[in-house]
A = this chain, B = another copy of it.
Amino acid sequence: MTRLLYALAGVDTARQFSPHVWKTVMSLAHKGLDYETVPVGFTAIAAIEGGATATVPLLRDGEKLVRDSFDIALYLDETYPDRPSLFGGEGGKAMARFIENWSQSTLHMAVTRIAILDIHNLLGAADREYFRHSREERLGASLEDIAAAGRAEIEGFAKKLQPLRNMLKVQPFIGGAGPLFPDYIVFGALQWLRTTAGTRVLEDDDAVALWFRRCLDLHGGVGHHVTAA
Q: Mark A100-125, 1 if CB is under 8 A from B, else 0.
A: 11101110000000000000000000
10 pairs of residues in contact across A and B, judged by CB atoms under 8 Å: A85-B91, A88-B89, A89-B89, A91-B92, A91-B93, A92-B94, A94-B180, A95-B95, A95-B98, A95-B180
A66 located at the interface, meaning its Cβ lies under 8 Å from any Cβ of chain B in the complex: no
A96 located at the interface, meaning its Cβ lies under 8 Å from any Cβ of chain B in the complex: yes
Q: Give the nearest-CB partner of A89 in chain B.
A: B89
Bound form: Cα–Cα A90–B174 in Å = 11
Interface residue from B92, B162, B164, B166 paired with A92 (Cβ < 8 Å): B92
- Is B101 touching A98 in the complex (CB atoms < 8 A)? no
Binding site for B on A (CB under 8 A): 85, 87-102, 104-106, 162-164, 166-167, 170-171, 173-177, 180, 182
Residues of B within 8 A of A182 (CB): 95, 98
Query: Closest CB of chain B to A91's CB: distance in Å?
Result: 2
Which of A90, A106, A173, A175 counts the most chain B CB atoms within 10 A? A90
- Is B91 touching A175 in the complex (CB atoms < 8 A)? yes
Residues of B within 8 A of A98 (CB): 95, 99, 163-164, 167, 174, 182
Give the copy number. 2
Query: Closest CB of chain B to A43's CB: distance in Å?
Result: 28
A88-B89, A89-B89 in contact; A166/B94 too (CB < 8 A)?
Answer: no
A94-B175, A175-B94, A180-B94 in contact; A166/B105 too (CB < 8 A)?
Answer: yes
Residues of B within 8 A of A100 (CB): 167
Query: Closest CB of chain B to A187's CB: distance in Å?
Result: 13
Query: Closest CB of chain B to A214's CB: distance in Å?
Result: 15
The 3 A-B pairs at the shortest CB distance, nearest first, are namely A89-B89, A88-B91, A91-B92
Q: Give the nearest-CB partner of A161 in chain B.
A: B105
Bound form: Cα–Cα A99–B95 in Å = 8
